[in-house]
Amino acid sequence: MPLNDYVQHLPLRVPPEDVHPMTRLMLRECPVVHSGHDGGFWLLNRHEDILRVMQDWDGFANGNAGCRVPHDPPGVNRPPMPPIDWNGPIHRKVRDVMNPFLSPRALAKNEPGFRSIIGAMIAEFAPDGHADISSQLSKRFPSQITCQELLGVNDAKDLENLRIWNRRLSYDLLTEDPAVLAEVQREWSAWSTALVEQRKAEPGDDIVSALINAKNDGRPLLNDVEVVGAIQILVSGGFSTTSEATANIVVRLIDDPTLEALLRERPDLIPAAIEEILRLDPPVNTRPRRCTRDVEIGGKLLRENDRLLVNYLAANVDPDEWDEPDEFIINRTRNRVMTFGAGPHRCIGSTMARISLRIMVEELLKHVTGIKYADDRHERRVSTQPGGWRMVESFPVTFTTVTPPQSLT
């Protein structure tokens, strides 16, 4: 696909195999580029420019309703979603309510729960010698741990519905009938509203109850619709991101067979290996912002209310930021990696993602060895909106079962 077509089509589906090469091309040829599509937006690729935008909440507002690329189809009325849709001091207050549930200390208590959910899933397919990593692992465990361990939602039907609603309102956004999508949002909001009512009646020691009861100067910090939106962003944040990361980790284990041997010998390197895979293949490729005033970036004038997308993938492989950016270097310094964003909106679930991904690798290597692609089609990716998400649709693999299972921990 020619570069210009790629930029113009970015909010639609671009071929998944184009995302990496086009990103490198944009970094070289047009690091700040405008697309006329979807009402117009800028695309930023340089690490330096992206960091500046991410850190300046006053100059570049977050907020899906105003800056989403592409715009939602008509009739899809998403609730406001704090914290991601809010900026400034009030945004900080919402994070302060969520943080105690997502801090390393709090999540240490969840580790046994994460391990039992992830371990059971892997133990189920391990004896078969083959599996679909997508349907049997990567799309299953992140949603289950988010629901059970974070939201306190244990009903299998609820979990299935949430998976469907989340998928429809992200991956299927451009292909599904808007009337169907509008109905999906209504169903999801109705379900979340019922959850809020239930937690009001029976408050617990959980994040939903904390959001309901949070106060700002003696008044509720969030009204019911905003709590419904906060639940929605926790679900969206927790489900597909960790799914993509899981698939990308398994791809790397297959493509680089020396990695499995290294991690078996040095399990302490598992977190660093995960970080490097997250750098090279960040699950969230782009995020939007809206300029709150005229600003110059990379020699271009962006006007007040212009929308822009930051390309995290580009920031993570920008040669001005990284030595040998395309190489997998397990012990490189990665403190400016953009996979989880930067600045005030930096991912609040990053610790949860990191813990669950480490446990996933430990449990996988405990049960299986020598993972290979089941056929020459490798992992099947589809690009989805926005901006070149490369979702793994199906991922058939074969492997040798480890009997008895060998714990790495």
| Binding region for ligand HEM (CB under 6 A) | 62, 83-84, 95, 146, 150, 233-234, 237-238, 241-242, 245, 282-284, 287, 339-341, 345, 347-349, 352-353
Whose Cβ is closer to ligand HEM: residue 146's or residue 166's? 146
CB 169 within 8 A of CB 184: yes
For ligand HEM, the closer of residues 101 and 399 by Cβ is 101
At closest approach, how far in Å is the CB of 376 from ligand HEM?
Answer: 28
| CB-based burial, 372-398: b 16+ in 10 Å, e otherwise | ebbeeeebebebbbbbbbbbbbbbbbe
101: left (phi over 0), alpha (psi -120 to 50) or beta: alpha
Least Å distance, CB 403 to ligand HEM, is 31
Q: Which residue number, 149 or 399, has a Cβ lying nearer to ligand HEM?
A: 149
Least distance between ligand HEM and beta carbon 282 (Å) = 6
Cα separation, 196 vs 309, in Å, equals 33
Question: Which helix (H) or strand (E) segment is 66 a member of?
Answer: helix 64-67
Distance of CA 194 to the CA centre of its chain: 26
Q: Would you mind telling me the total number of residues written for the chain in this entry? A: 409
240 neighbors 166 (Cβ within 8 angstroms) = yes
Report the C-alpha gap between 229 and 294 in whole angstroms: 30
- Tokens 């956004």 correspond to what residue? 173
3-state secondary structure of 370: strand
Instruction: Indicate the residue among 168 and 345 with the shorter CB distance to ligand HEM.
Output: 345
Q: How far is the CB of 171 from ligand HEM (least distance, A)?
A: 16
Q: How far apart are CA 93 and CA 396, in angstroms?
A: 44
Minimum CB distance to ligand HEM, residue 2 (Å): 28
Bridge partner residues of 368 (DSSP): 401
Least separation in angstroms between CB 365 and ligand HEM: 19
Cβ distance to ligand HEM smaller for residue 126 or 277: 277
Q: Which is nearer to ligand HEM, 45 or 241 (CB)?
A: 241
Give residue number: closest CB to ligand HEM. Answer: 349
Q: Which two tokens stand for residue 9?
A: 């089509």
The CB-of-312 to ligand HEM minimum distance in angstroms stands at: 6
* SS3 state at 96: helix
Q: Between 346 and 372, whose beta carbon lies closer to ligand HEM?
A: 346
